[in-house]
Structure 1
Amino acid sequence: MGARELPVDERERLELCGLLAETGPDAPTLCEGWTTLDLAAHLVLREHFSRWDDERLAGEKAKGLPALIGRLRAGAPAVPWRIPGLRTLLNGAEFLIHHEDVRRANGMEPRTGRPDLDALAWRTVRLSGWQAARKIRPHGLELRVPGGPTRRFGADGGAVLTGPPVELLLYLSGRREAARVEVAGDPGAVAALDAS
């Protein structure tokens, strides 16, 4: 099976592993205070343990980046991470966002020509947009893709975020400085969104 035939979450996992190996353990990420080593340890722990503390995180980091990359490349445990349908929901956005955390923190441009990533991000912003809209009530929130779909949450006339799906996802997941989106709309709604 070629790389393009793999499910999008698996492609993102493998591409992120390649990027982690390329950048090394001390490269920055968009996750405040985390290097690529911290991020790799987080991803391993997330799939193999329901809870962990700083000691367990330090233990994983002590294994070194190559070992963590090897564990990530081996794939996630079968349940629930590899169940068809659930796998993309559980891991797709996680790997997409963290892939961009490494790319953007290291001066790399957004990836283009990846409709698989756009589709994954657009599915994911349905939930994250709803969560963001709840935080800015009574204002509404509208997400717009230039030349593409629009999704509205809550009241009309609220804040409007415009950008490609991956950029909208990054903005809604807290990577506002790195996300290439335009924020417009009702000033009160925009202020509420900025404060959320």
Structure 2
Amino acid sequence: MVPVTLAQDERAALVTTLRSVGPDAPTMCEGWTTRDLTAHLVVRERRLDTGPGIMIKRFAGHTERVRADAAAENWDDLLGKLADGPPVYSPFKLVDRWANLAEMFVHHEDVLRGGARKDAAWTPRPLSADLEKALIGPASSMARMTLKGSPARITLRTPDGRDLVTAGDGDQVVVTGAPGELVLFAFGRSPVDVVYEGSDALIASVKDAKRGF
């Protein structure tokens, strides 16, 4: 029997949450309901021609049209496709455990925290030690990309004092949180349960700066 991976666990948990909140619930992805978000995930794995549009603005129109078509599908069918995971022809099938762990985690939190005020305090759900450990890599790699243009030199630090990555230029701001929360910070999500160290003005600038894609 093939062991279930953390990415598969998180996918299953996301599908369960989506079923419980329904297709019209808010998410942390601005302008997207849970139906929109689910369509994005399904299209990402099943329509490889839409990949460039996720990162390159010039191709975004095609990606959005395909995603909108998928969003019009029956809700249960859409959830079934997400639950099934990448089809056999998708490159994501081979790299699911690595390529989809952060994707499923972040979008699960997009649903769980949907509707919360961005500046609100948030108590995260408990994560297993294995999942927290596995999210250290995505937190570091994503931060290297998303924090390059930050208005400060940002260090991501875990509560036990481990510095994961430093990126950006200028005076330093230290952002401390559990690996899962640091992943969300690197992806530009809020609310997140992190602690900032630095000048008040610089911290405010870091909070307001765009991160993610």
TM-score by length of 1: 0.84
- The equivalent residue for 1:127 is 141
1:179 paired residue among 152, 171, 192: 192
- The equivalent residue for 2:182 is 168
Aligned residues: 190
2:68 paired residue among 55, 58, 62: 58
- The equivalent residue for 1:47 is 45
Q: Is the 8 A contact 1:146 1:164 kept in 2?
A: yes
* Deviates further, 146-155 or 178-187: 146-155
1:149 lines up with 2:162 in the alignment: yes
Q: Is the 8 A contact 1:129 1:141 kept in 2?
A: no
Q: Which runs of 5+ in 2 are unaligned?
A: 51-61, 117-121
1:28-74 deviations in Å (ceiling 9; x for gaps): 11111111111111110011113144332232122121111111111
SS of alignment partner, residue 159 of structure 1: strand
Q: Distance in 1 between matches of 2:34 and 2:104?
A: 13
Q: Distance in 2 between matches of 1:135 and 1:99?
A: 27
Q: Is the 8 A contact 2:26 2:32 kept in 1?
A: yes
Q: Is the 8 A contact 2:158 2:164 kept in 1?
A: no
Offset, 1:113? 4.0
Q: Distance in 2 between matches of 1:97 and 1:120?
A: 13
Matches within 5 A, 1:74-153: 74-78=84-88, 79-83=90-94, 86-105=95-114, 109-136=123-150, 139-153=152-166
C-alpha RMSD over aligned residues: 2.5
Offset, 1:136? 2.8
What amino acid maps onto 1:64 in structure 2? Answer: N
Q: Which runs of 5+ in 1 are unaligned?
A: none
Q: Distance in 2 between matches of 1:179 and 1:40?
A: 22
1:67 paired residue among 77, 102, 120: 77
Offset, 1:185? 2.1
2:11 paired residue among 13, 33, 37: 13
When residues 55 and 140 of structure 1 are mapped into structure 2, their CA distance, relative to the original with a 3 A threshold, is closer
When residues 151 and 188 of structure 1 are mapped into structure 2, their CA distance, relative to the original with a 3 A threshold, is farther
SS of alignment partner, residue 11 of structure 2: helix
